[in-house]
Structure 1
Amino acid sequence: MGIIRSAFGPSKDEIWTQIATDIGGEFIEGGFWGTDVLTYKHGEWQILLDTYTVTTPAGQVTTTTTHTRMRAPFINKDGLYFEISREGFFSSIGKLFGMKDIEIGDPSFDKQFEIKGNSPEKIKLLLADTRIRKLCETQPNIHFKIKDDEGWFGADFPEGVDELYFECVGVIKKTELLKSLFALFALTLERLVQIDSAYKDDPQVTLK
């Protein structure tokens, strides 16, 4: 294993385990649905990092793509929704759901990202925190949003509960990026409370 490790570097499991130790989280090998997960408790919120795969048929061949995702259920106080992605990455998302294109007044940030949401005023307040903007900028690939449920195969959320959600293509193994991602979630959840769009209470949801 020595020569393999020296050629490819530490494995995802090694890196995620060390991050769990560093931030006070827990790495569960083969956790929910047989998928490795890293969980971290911030206040009453559970932040969960894992991966999932998407299989796409292409003629007689199928391709499999692995995605990294992070999720954190919370009680949404006012029905706020937003999506933040790199410019052009999800250009068509949101147009069918009454989501408006938003600029926050930071020329550099507005140039880098597409921001959509149902309340421009609240989203500008959310992103007025420079730390949140900086943490978004550290992610080379980002699709960061409030999501209303887990879909057919995931957890059903009670009324008023949504989740903060991040995904990108590929498996993130860079320690700095992953720690920044946990910080982004923790700060965003706190900021949502500050702008009166979330409650601090436990949402009483266990992710699968």
Structure 2
Amino acid sequence: MAVLESIFGKRQKPIWEEFAEQKNGVLKSESGDLFVEYKYLDFILKIKNYNYTVVGSSYSESYMIGMAEFFHPTQLVLEITKEDWCTGIVKVFKNKGMKIGNSEFDKRFYITSNKELKARTVLNDKSLLEKIISFDPTRIEITNTGKFFGEIPSKGKYILYCAKKEEFKDLKQLNEIHLVLVSFIENLKENCEIK
């Protein structure tokens, strides 16, 4: 752990340790990135600090990410991204996305899904929407393909991840990610029968 302290600074490690203790989890490191794994209901949640560096350059970005893996019988795929100029182009030429009927949420986020009715049911939860709006993520996704922030879903499973492009700051930030993940999991368990 001495290497981690030299990389991340002595002030960050105790914050991660406190969060791990609060959640009865385990603090780990992977390629220099810290994360905490812990159990919620029957799911393993992971919250991590992920540093993405473009190969062959000095450009890098930091993300705070929460994720959970599960069996998903309804096979809902959902993408929620911040509304920006890229999504504006996609709307014009490819996919207008969907609206859920919450004006603040619809204005701030671009939403796509393979099952719009089921996605609307999931996103009809006012408490969940408030948590998402408050956290202001860069991206939330439910998927069973690809490699996201160093994670590949296990065979036959889906992964929910909530990512925000920002530097690690404090315990409040970790708890905000936790609240979004927990709200999503509870909602998906009720409306999509995830296991």
Pairing of 1:19-98 with structure 2 (within 5 A) = 19-28=19-28, 30=29, 32-56=30-54, 61-88=57-84, 91=87
Pairing of 1:49-198 with structure 2 (within 5 A) = 49-56=47-54, 61-88=57-84, 91=87, 101-149=97-145, 151=147, 154-155=151-152, 157-159=154-156, 161-195=157-191, 197-198=192-193
Alpha-carbon distance between aligned partners in 2 of 1:185 and 1:169, rounded to the nearest angstrom:
16
Q: What's the % identity of the aligned pairs?
A: 21
The one-letter code matched in structure 1 to 2:44 is Q
Q: How many residues align?
A: 184
SS at match of 1:62: coil
TM-score (normalised: structure 1): 0.75
Shift of 1:168: 2.4
TM-score (normalised: structure 2): 0.79
> Does the C-alpha gap of structure 1 residues 120 and 175 become closer, same or farther in structure 2, counting only changes over 3 Å?
same
Asked if the contact 1:149–1:157 (Cα under 8 Å) also holds between the matched residues in 2, the reply is no
The one-letter code matched in structure 1 to 2:119 is I
Shift of 1:104: 0.8
SS at match of 2:174: helix
> Does the C-alpha gap of structure 1 residues 141 and 101 become closer, same or farther in structure 2, counting only changes over 3 Å?
same
Matched, 1:15 2:15: yes
Alpha-carbon distance between aligned partners in 2 of 1:43 and 1:13, rounded to the nearest angstrom:
26
> Does the C-alpha gap of structure 1 residues 177 and 137 become closer, same or farther in structure 2, counting only changes over 3 Å?
farther
Alpha-carbon distance between aligned partners in 1 of 2:19 and 2:90, rounded to the nearest angstrom:
34
Asked if the contact 2:64–2:165 (Cα under 8 Å) also holds between the matched residues in 1, the reply is yes
Asked if the contact 1:149–1:155 (Cα under 8 Å) also holds between the matched residues in 2, the reply is yes
Alpha-carbon distance between aligned partners in 1 of 2:190 and 2:31, rounded to the nearest angstrom:
35
Asked if the contact 2:153–2:159 (Cα under 8 Å) also holds between the matched residues in 1, the reply is no
Alpha-carbon distance between aligned partners in 1 of 2:89 and 2:141, rounded to the nearest angstrom:
11
Alpha-carbon distance between aligned partners in 1 of 2:20 and 2:68, rounded to the nearest angstrom:
16
Unaligned runs of 5+ in 1: 1-8, 201-208
SS at match of 1:69: strand
Unaligned runs of 5+ in 2: 1-8
Asked if the contact 1:99–1:117 (Cα under 8 Å) also holds between the matched residues in 2, the reply is no
Moved segments of 4+, more than 6 Å: 92-95
Alpha-carbon distance between aligned partners in 1 of 2:85 and 2:16, rounded to the nearest angstrom:
27
SS at match of 1:65: strand
SS at match of 1:36: strand
